[in-house]
Amino acid sequence: MAVGAATWFDRAVRRGFDVGPFDLNGTDLYMILTTAAQALTRSFTGGSGDCRYADFTAELATAFGYTNGGLAFTAPAINVVGTDQFFDSDPLTWALSATISARYAVCIDKLSANDNALFFFDLNTSLGAGVNASIGPPTLILTPDPDGWLKWYQP
């Protein structure tokens, strides 16, 4: 499943300027899955007011091949082509034993002291607010776009 455009959490962008940069090349980036029970927007900050992993109260429970806490990105890299820069990694793959319901895929930086959330993907933009995507076995594969998970331009 191609994930489409990422939405940065406003707090993550601000934290990058206020506290210091985040390491997209790091080995402690995880993708968690959450349901529509907790609507996400770019302004989401959660109960902590700081957009942390602990703020995601609608993460899927460990079951059917999903493990609470998410899946680690493998082979994360920043690639540069001309003036374009891309954050890329291998696809994220969950082996599922039954159908799961999820709405959002959220990138968590577990290297940070508070397990900060960085950005998210809406897995079900076509069905409207409050509706989960039904994802059946045998696998859920989240695949970055050809330009990676994220792309930015540096003149």
SS3 letters across 83-119: CEEEEECCCEEEECCCCEEECEEEEEECCCCCCEEEE
Q: How many domains does the chain have?
A: 1
Q: Which one is predicted more confidently, 66 or 153?
A: 66
pLDDT reported for residue 8: 87
Tell me if residue 54 falls in helix, strand or coil. Answer: helix
Residue 68's domain comprises 7-153
pLDDT reported for residue 41: 93
Residue 131 lies in a domain: yes
Residue 1 lies in a domain: no
Measure CA 54 to chain center.
14
Kindly report the number of other CB atoms within 10 A of residue 133's CB atom. 20
Residue with tokens 């994360």: 76
* Contact between residue 101 and residue 133 where contact means Cβ atoms under 8 Å apart: yes
Residue 87 lies in a domain: yes
pLDDT band for position 48 (cuts 50, 70, 90): very high
Residue 2 lies in a domain: no
Residues 6+ apart with CB under 8 A from 132: 35, 36, 101, 102, 103, 124
Residue 120 lies in a domain: yes
pLDDT reported for residue 2: 55
Residue 59 falls in which region: left (phi positive, over 0), alpha (psi -120 to 50) or beta: beta
Residue 76 lies in a domain: yes
Residue 119 lies in a domain: yes
Residue 60 lies in a domain: yes
Residue 1 confidence (pLDDT) above 70 = no
Tens digit of each residue's pLDDT (9 = 90 or more) over 62-111 = 999 999 999 999 888 888 888 888 888 888 889 988 888 888 999 999 88
